[in-house]
Amino acid sequence: MKDDKRKRRRTSWDDLFGNFDEEFEEMRERMDAMMEGFMNGRIDATASQPIVYGFSMRMGPDGKPHIQEFGNAPPEAPGREGAREPLTDIIEEKERIRVIVELPGVERDDIQLNVEDRLLDISVDREDRKFSKKVEMPSDVDPDSASASYKNGVLEVTLRKVAPKKRGRPVKIEDK
């Protein structure tokens, strides 16, 4: 009889999908907490806005999968209660970064954008629709180069990449 507790051989698929178990377990825990909230009356099931929660998955430039959550069901940052987290896609190109955001049902004038360091802050605060998302850029960008367009509920923000700032310099030790 063979030993059933033998170690499984590690394959290249383990590197690619290694974090999935952890990610799915975390999502399951959140969904369980949300359902418990419904059952105990902590979350109002008759709220005027639908509860939205989901995730998108893409392969990053490093060859590893990146999972991004979106929606208004999980607890978010303080001060942004009731705001949905829009579905966002980050496309890193050689000289620029494009951020594509789905913001259905809002007007161009409702959208506030702010770029600081490596962070793009997107918010919409209307009576009937609220969206909020802070997007961390994969590399340093020039905030002055930011341009944006909005058409048919899709916002596209383009930022030019810049060389990373030097954090320090070597110091030569001299003889005394």
pLDDT at residue 160 greater than cutoff 80:
yes
Cα dihedral sign, 98-103-105-109: negative
- For the chain, strand residue ranges (E) read 53-59, 65-71, 88-92, 96-102, 111-116, 119-125, 130-136, 141-151, 154-161
**113, 137 contact by CB (below 8 A):** no
Phi-psi region of 103 (alpha: psi -120 to 50; beta: other; left: phi over 0): beta
Residue with the larger pLDDT of the pair 82 and 140: 140
Tokens of 128: 């009937």
CATH 2.60.40.790 fits 79-163, yes or no: yes
Q: Tens of pLDDT along 22-48?
A: 778 888 888 888 788 777 766 655 555
Residue with the larger pLDDT of the pair 141 and 18: 141
Residue with the larger pLDDT of the pair 39 and 87: 87
Q: What is the pLDDT of residue 78?
A: 45
Which strand (E) or helix (H) includes residue 32? helix 20-40
pTM of the model: 0.54
Q: How confident is the model at residue 72 (pLDDT cuts 50, 70, 90)?
A: low
pLDDT at residue 123 greater than cutoff 90:
yes
Lowest mean pLDDT among 28-42, 44-58, 78-92, 95-109: 44-58
Residue spans per domain, the chain: 13-76, 79-163
Q: Tens of pLDDT along 130-158?
A: 889 999 998 889 999 999 999 999 999 99
3-class secondary-structure state, position 30: helix
Q: What is the pLDDT of residue 83?
A: 76
Region 49-66: mean pLDDT is 71
Region 107-120: mean pLDDT is 92
Q: What is the pLDDT of residue 6?
A: 55
3-class secondary-structure state, position 105: coil
pLDDT at residue 3 greater than cutoff 60:
no
Average pLDDT, the chain: 79
